[in-house]
Every structure is written in C-alpha cells, then in structure tokens.
Amino acid sequence: MRAKVAEENEPALEGASPALRSPQKKRRSWKKRLLWTTLVGGPLLVGVLWVLVHRIPWMGPLVANGLRSVIGKDNVAKLEDFVYSIEDRVNQTVKADEAPKAHWTVPAPMPPDPVPVVAPTEPTGRDEPPPPPFAPTAPGAMYPGFSAPGDGTWVPLTDPRRPGEPPRMFKTLIHPDKSRGWAELFVVAVDLRTVELLMMAGYQEPRTEKKEAEGYARKAKIPSDHWAALLGAFNGGFMAEHGHYGFALDGITFIDAKPESCTLARFSDGSYDIGPWERLAPRQPEMTWFRQAPSCMFDDGKMHPSLAGAHQRKWGATLDGNTVIRRSAIGMSADHQILYVGITNHTTAKVLAQGMHHVGARTVAQMDVNWSYPKFVTYAPDKQDELRPIALADGFEFSDTLYVRERSMRDFFYLARKEEVAPKEATSVDSKVPQAAQPTTSATPLAP
C-alpha cells in the first residue's frame, strides 16, 4: 500500500528540490545526460580530432601515441583500420565519379641536345669525366584511359639556389588504382651516381635496448654544413615497436637485423642496394648503414606472393595491407643507379607496390604508413634567406623547420650532392663479421 502511495505521489516531486527526488530518478537523469553527451559529443570530438590530425603535423603522432599508452597498440591499430575504412567508404560515395587530377603542369618535351662524338684517348690519370645527364625513362600512365594530364612524365626538380645545374632528381605522378580516381602515387627518381643518400636517427626512434647505442649522440637533424648541398629529405621506416626492423648507423647497431625483412643498405664503396636480408647479409661487413622494412613488395621484378594472392598479409605491424591509407616506399632500378621514393594518398599495399614497379623500380620496400609520417620535401631559401622545406604536392603537412632546424623524433633520410658530402672513409657496420656471414647473423658495432 505504501509503495502504491509513493508511486502515485512521485510525479509531484518533479518540481521539488533535488534533495527530495528519489535516487532512482537521479540515476535515470544522469544516465540520460551521459547518453546524450556520448551520442552528440563523441562524433563531434572524433570529427575535431580528425581535422586536427590532418592539419597539424604533430597532432597525429600525439593522438596515436597517447591512445597506445591507454588502450594498447593492437586496439589502436583496430581503431585506425576502422576509421580509415569509414573514410574510404565515404570517399567511394562522394567521389565515385571523380576523375584523376594533375598536381602540376608538365612542360612540353624538349628535343635532346646533340651528343658530340669524341675520339677515345689514352688514360691520363685525371679524374673521370662527369656522367651523362640524368634522364630517367618516362613510364607513361599506368592506365592510359584512366589518368590525368602528365601522368608518368618526369618533371625535373631543380635547386632554386643553383638554377643552371642539370637536374639530379625528377618527379612524376601516376594514378595507380582504377577503382579510386583520388588515389595518387607521387614518385621522385634520384640519380645515385651524383646524389648521396644519408640516414639520420631520430632523437627517440629507433628505440633501442642495446648498451652500445645508448651513448650515441643523436643529432636528429641535418647538419648545417650539409645545407648548401641539400637536395631533399624523406621519412624513415616504422617505429621500433612496430616490427623491430633492423637499424645500424655509424658503426652502431640499434636494432639487430631480421631475417626476411627488406633492407636498404649503403656499402663502403658508395653503392646502395635494396633486397631481402638473406641476399644482402653476406655483404654485411661492407655496410656503412642499413635500414629494414617489412618483406620486399617486389624483389628482382617479382611481386611478393602475399601481395599477388587474394589475401594480403599485414604490411607492417599495424595496419593491414588492404587498408586504404597514405603510404611511403623506396625502390631501386635494375642497375642500382636510380633510387625511387614514393608517397601515396589512399592506396593499399598492393596498389603502392604495382605503382612503384610501373615507374621503374625493380625492388620495392614499403617504409611507413599513416597520414602524418610519409613525406618528401625539397628545400629553398625564403625571404629571410632561411632554408625552408617545400612539399612535393598539396596536402602534405609539416613544419617549416622540418629536418633542418627542428630535431626529428623519428629517423629519416636526406639527399645531397655526392661530391660535397660523400665521406672520404666510410665506417662499416661490422669489420669483424666474416664475409661468409650467415643470413641470420645480426650486425654488431665496431670495436672501440
């Protein structure tokens, strides 16, 4: 009877003070506010973070690393995969009829200069003549009926500080995915005959547990005495926790080499190679540095079986190879004289691999993924004569001190004129390892 009376009188308490309301009513009101806050504020917060991540260079890493410390890297990877799948579905709805677009004007081809006929002469002991001008073969559009003007045409990247110098790098754009007109692959071809590729450790990455690497002085930015020779720079590979891919520099091994990992290495004779560790390991004593990535997408012109099959494995330790995302890659020509650096928008691992192979890369390694990390920049002085990075194309966000005046948290590569920066005597990663080292042998530092 009392319960019935209380139930009948409960509506009258709506106007009463909070102290007179029933605890059950308070809980219902609190839950309702929480539900509405979640339904309205949650998507709003995600939207704001999405915009910030795509507009502020440091926001993406901050959000991702913060979430990893709270919910773990595997859960963050699942969340990223889910978000990128939603973005791709939206793009396929909104941009379904979007045709491929050009990002720069491709100049009309110039007739080649006549090559003078020079009679052979006896060796004089003088320096060798300079190599012929760099002119990579134009691959053309990947899909001729589905392309933008200039697709697959190489455009010279000249240094504004030396306008009369023959170009040592060229860029091109191709559209490598017939199902996505907005998917893009920007590629830079680098003349390794005249350009030195240098690697720099970040001030945090790659993280290492090796004692010999703990005391290494991480400059984490391009030395000022290389600025005059600087041509460009681009991102390194995955964070150490995402695969623990090998890294060695200046005679110090930060992370041991992993079997089957695709490896970019520089040798003491000034040459470079990209390939599976098993193939490069016998030359480990000659290496001055190496950087590893997931398994080679292409090796000696052949696509990795996991990419060629219907079920792609994960290309990296975070996002799946089928995830449509921004990616970066490096590749090398068959004669090892051209380095290809690729940056994509909205591609799967397979599309990236096929695009890099199309432009001329015989071997291809994916380096990094996600919106914030892949980038390629050249440099030019501003009005104050300060060296500033220049984006390869619109849509790539970074600070105006990138790699030159700002220390990088993660490792990166930079490109400079070989005759001005090439070391006179290179330090090998390991002078003690015998030439017949087994493929699974890890690099060790030089003895002090």
pLDDT in tens, 325-374: 999 999 999 999 999 999 999 999 999 999 999 999 999 999 999 888 89
**Token couple for 365:** 């390694």
pLDDT range class, residue 95, cuts 50, 70, 90: confident
Query: In angstroms, rounded to a whole number, what is the distance separating the alpha carbons of residues 414 and 426?
Result: 17
Stretch 394-403: mean pLDDT: 89
Distances (CA, A) of 288 to 30, 198, 213, 250, 262: 63, 10, 16, 7, 17
> If you average pLDDT over every residue of the chain, what do you get?
81
DSSP state of 88: H
**Residues with Cβ within 8 Å of residue 56, at least 6 apart in sequence:** 397
* Residue 117: Cβ-neighbour burial (10 angstroms; 0-12, 13-18, 19+): exposed
**DSSP β-ladder status, 262-267 and 272-276:** antiparallel
Domain limits of the chain? Answer: 21-94, 155-421
Summarised one tens digit per residue, pLDDT across range 108-165 is 765 555 544 444 545 545 566 777 899 999 999 999 999 999 999 999 999 999 999 9
pLDDT range class, residue 93, cuts 50, 70, 90: confident
Chain-centroid distance of CA 263 in Å reads 15
Q: Are 265 and 300 in contact (CB under 8 A)?
A: no
Stretch 258-287: mean pLDDT: 97
Summarised one tens digit per residue, pLDDT across range 160-185 is 999 999 999 999 999 999 999 999 99
Q: Are 393 and 187 in contact (CB under 8 A)?
A: no
Stretch 265-285: mean pLDDT: 97
Q: Are 189 and 340 in contact (CB under 8 A)?
A: yes
Residue 124 confidence (pLDDT):
47
pLDDT range class, residue 38, cuts 50, 70, 90: low
Summarised one tens digit per residue, pLDDT across range 43-80 is 554 554 444 444 545 445 555 555 555 555 555 556 66
**Helix, strand or coil for residue 314?**
strand
**Residues with Cβ within 8 Å of residue 216, at least 6 apart in sequence:** 201, 250, 252, 254
